[in-house]
Amino acid sequence: MRNVLNICIVDDDEIYKFTVVKTLEALDFDKNIKAFADGEEAFDFLINNLNNELELPDVIFLDINMPIMDGFEFMEEYIKIKPKVGKKITIYMVSSSVDPVDIEKAKNISEISDYIIKPIKPGELRAIITNLYSDN
Protein backbone atom coordinates (compact mmCIF):
# COMPACT_ATOMS: atom_id res chain seq x y z
CA MET A 1 0.00 0.00 0.00
CA ARG A 2 1.21 3.49 -0.85
CA ASN A 3 1.63 6.08 1.83
CA VAL A 4 0.15 9.06 0.00
CA LEU A 5 -2.82 9.23 -2.36
CA ASN A 6 -2.56 11.99 -4.99
CA ILE A 7 -5.98 13.53 -5.63
CA CYS A 8 -6.73 15.98 -8.43
CA ILE A 9 -9.90 18.08 -8.58
CA VAL A 10 -10.58 19.76 -11.93
CA ASP A 11 -13.48 22.19 -11.63
CA ASP A 12 -14.10 25.89 -12.22
CA ASP A 13 -16.56 26.20 -9.30
CA GLU A 14 -14.50 27.61 -6.42
CA ILE A 15 -17.13 26.80 -3.78
CA TYR A 16 -17.41 23.19 -4.96
CA LYS A 17 -13.61 22.80 -4.98
CA PHE A 18 -13.36 24.28 -1.49
CA THR A 19 -16.06 21.92 -0.18
CA VAL A 20 -14.48 18.81 -1.73
CA VAL A 21 -11.01 19.75 -0.48
CA LYS A 22 -12.34 20.31 3.06
CA THR A 23 -14.20 16.96 2.94
CA LEU A 24 -11.06 15.19 1.74
CA GLU A 25 -8.89 16.89 4.36
CA ALA A 26 -11.22 15.58 7.07
CA LEU A 27 -10.66 11.97 5.95
CA ASP A 28 -8.01 10.12 7.90
CA PHE A 29 -5.40 9.12 5.34
CA ASP A 30 -2.26 10.61 3.81
CA LYS A 31 -3.11 12.62 0.73
CA ASN A 32 -1.84 15.27 -1.59
CA ILE A 33 -4.68 17.35 -3.06
CA LYS A 34 -4.28 19.51 -6.16
CA ALA A 35 -7.10 21.62 -7.61
CA PHE A 36 -7.27 23.10 -11.09
CA ALA A 37 -9.79 25.60 -12.53
CA ASP A 38 -9.99 24.02 -15.98
CA GLY A 39 -8.95 21.03 -18.02
CA GLU A 40 -6.04 22.82 -19.66
CA GLU A 41 -4.37 23.57 -16.30
CA ALA A 42 -4.78 19.94 -15.24
CA PHE A 43 -3.59 18.59 -18.59
CA ASP A 44 -0.51 20.84 -18.53
CA PHE A 45 0.24 19.49 -15.05
CA LEU A 46 0.02 15.90 -16.36
CA ILE A 47 2.29 16.70 -19.32
CA ASN A 48 4.85 18.38 -17.07
CA ASN A 49 4.90 15.37 -14.72
CA LEU A 50 4.66 12.46 -17.15
CA ASN A 51 7.93 11.04 -15.85
CA ASN A 52 7.24 11.80 -12.21
CA GLU A 53 4.96 9.13 -10.75
CA LEU A 54 5.14 10.69 -7.31
CA GLU A 55 3.40 13.82 -8.61
CA LEU A 56 0.91 12.22 -11.01
CA PRO A 57 -2.59 11.85 -9.56
CA ASP A 58 -3.99 8.51 -8.48
CA VAL A 59 -7.51 9.87 -8.97
CA ILE A 60 -9.02 12.76 -10.90
CA PHE A 61 -12.45 14.24 -10.16
CA LEU A 62 -13.26 15.94 -13.47
CA ASP A 63 -16.05 18.42 -14.16
CA ILE A 64 -17.59 18.64 -17.64
CA ASN A 65 -18.49 22.30 -18.08
CA MET A 66 -15.42 24.50 -17.66
CA PRO A 67 -13.88 27.36 -19.61
CA ILE A 68 -10.82 26.91 -21.87
CA MET A 69 -10.86 23.07 -21.89
CA ASP A 70 -13.92 21.17 -20.70
CA GLY A 71 -13.95 17.68 -19.22
CA PHE A 72 -14.59 15.89 -22.51
CA GLU A 73 -11.82 17.84 -24.26
CA PHE A 74 -9.52 16.93 -21.35
CA MET A 75 -10.39 13.26 -21.85
CA GLU A 76 -9.65 13.45 -25.61
CA GLU A 77 -6.18 14.80 -24.83
CA TYR A 78 -5.62 12.40 -21.92
CA ILE A 79 -6.39 9.38 -24.10
CA LYS A 80 -3.67 10.53 -26.53
CA ILE A 81 -1.01 10.63 -23.80
CA LYS A 82 -2.26 7.72 -21.68
CA PRO A 83 0.35 5.27 -23.09
CA LYS A 84 3.07 7.62 -21.78
CA VAL A 85 1.54 7.91 -18.30
CA GLY A 86 3.53 5.65 -16.02
CA LYS A 87 0.75 4.79 -13.60
CA LYS A 88 -2.95 3.97 -13.43
CA ILE A 89 -5.09 7.08 -12.93
CA THR A 90 -8.71 6.58 -11.91
CA ILE A 91 -10.98 9.26 -13.40
CA TYR A 92 -14.45 10.19 -12.18
CA MET A 93 -16.58 12.58 -14.22
CA VAL A 94 -18.34 14.74 -11.62
CA SER A 95 -20.92 17.12 -13.02
CA SER A 96 -24.18 18.86 -12.24
CA SER A 97 -25.35 17.84 -15.72
CA VAL A 98 -28.16 15.30 -15.73
CA ASP A 99 -28.33 15.43 -19.53
CA PRO A 100 -28.57 11.82 -20.78
CA VAL A 101 -26.25 12.77 -23.68
CA ASP A 102 -23.46 13.79 -21.26
CA ILE A 103 -23.98 10.71 -19.09
CA GLU A 104 -23.94 8.36 -22.10
CA LYS A 105 -20.90 10.09 -23.60
CA ALA A 106 -19.00 9.69 -20.31
CA LYS A 107 -20.02 6.03 -19.97
CA ASN A 108 -18.68 5.37 -23.49
CA ILE A 109 -15.19 6.58 -22.53
CA SER A 110 -13.51 3.52 -21.02
CA GLU A 111 -10.97 5.65 -19.13
CA ILE A 112 -13.80 7.17 -17.03
CA SER A 113 -14.55 4.96 -14.03
CA ASP A 114 -17.94 6.47 -13.22
CA TYR A 115 -20.22 9.47 -13.72
CA ILE A 116 -21.19 11.20 -10.47
CA ILE A 117 -23.86 13.88 -10.31
CA LYS A 118 -22.96 16.86 -8.10
CA PRO A 119 -22.92 17.43 -5.31
CA ILE A 120 -20.79 14.43 -4.44
CA LYS A 121 -21.90 13.18 -1.04
CA PRO A 122 -19.24 12.95 1.72
CA GLY A 123 -20.02 9.24 2.23
CA GLU A 124 -19.63 8.58 -1.50
CA LEU A 125 -16.34 10.47 -1.56
CA ARG A 126 -15.13 8.55 1.50
CA ALA A 127 -16.02 5.21 -0.13
CA ILE A 128 -14.19 6.11 -3.35
CA ILE A 129 -11.08 7.27 -1.52
CA THR A 130 -11.05 4.31 0.89
CA ASN A 131 -11.30 1.94 -2.06
CA LEU A 132 -8.52 3.71 -3.98
CA TYR A 133 -6.28 3.94 -0.94
CA SER A 134 -6.56 0.23 -0.24
CA ASP A 135 -5.75 -0.53 -3.91
CA ASN A 136 -2.48 1.44 -3.82
Question: What domains can be seen in the chain, in order of their start residue?
Answer: 5-135 (3.40.50.2300)
- Beta bridge partner(s), residue 33: 7
3-state secondary structure of 114: strand
pLDDT means per 10 residues, the chain with 136 residues, are 82 94 88 95 96 93 95 97 92 94 95 94 89 74
Residue 11: per-residue pLDDT: 97
Residue 30 CA to residue 15 CA, distance in Å, equals 23
Residue 28: per-residue pLDDT: 83
- Which amino acid, residue 112? I
Query: pTM above 0.75?
Result: yes
